[in-house]
Amino acid sequence: QAFAKERWLGSWNFLKLQRQDEGGQAYLPAAAPAQMPAPYSALANSGECIIVAKAVTVAECVQLPAEDDGGLQMRAATAALLQGRVAADKEDEKVRREAAEAAAAELRTALAEEGARRGAAEAAAAELQAVIVEQGARREAAEAAVAELRTALAEQGARHEAAEASTAELRAALAEQGARCEAAEAAAAELRAVLAEE
């Protein structure tokens, strides 16, 4: 506020421009009023105070003639004010662009992290599928080995039964052979007895 009042007391050309913009008198009294106009005070308190200060500084650099110069000073101050506003707009645009670029970079980083997480999840899923396939192959191999063992046991059982049948048949043949041998011995004994009697 003190800065604005100092500018108000020392920058009549800018005040003339502001008065004309407001539709008021174009000429100022010889002495500056102690109270600043409400528009100037509000402008000094607003976000455009930097633009106002730049415009006032440019206007103060031009010497005011004693007589009216046909609005030359007013046009110079207007140009300075417009240049200040354009510079401020460019600065705002730069800030917005930097903010947008920062947001875009942050978004790209987030997307890259999300892609990395998705890639890791897909790799883990593929590894799990490979483990499941390998486990399935092992289970199939174990089942095939069990089936082969069962076949071998069944074949061994059949061979054992065949061996037992052969043993029983051999025993029967031996028993029959023994009976024949005993019959032959009995016949021989009877023959010897007959020969002895004769």
For residue range 15-49, what is the model confidence (pLDDT) as tens digits? Answer: 555 555 555 444 444 445 555 555 445 545 554 44
Decide which of 158 and 31 is more confident: 158
Whether 16 and 75 have beta carbons less than 8 Å apart is answered as no
What does the pLDDT average to over 113-137?
Answer: 91
Structure tokens at 132: 């499941």
Nearest to 74 by CA among 32, 33, 20, 22: 20
- pLDDT greater than 70 at residue 147: yes
- pLDDT greater than 50 at residue 5: yes
Nearest to 56 by CA among 43, 66, 37: 43
Average pLDDT in the chain: 73
Decide which of 123 and 83 is more confident: 123
- pLDDT greater than 70 at residue 99: yes
Predicted model pTM: 0.34
pLDDT per residue as tens digits for the range 169-190: 999 999 999 899 998 888 888 8
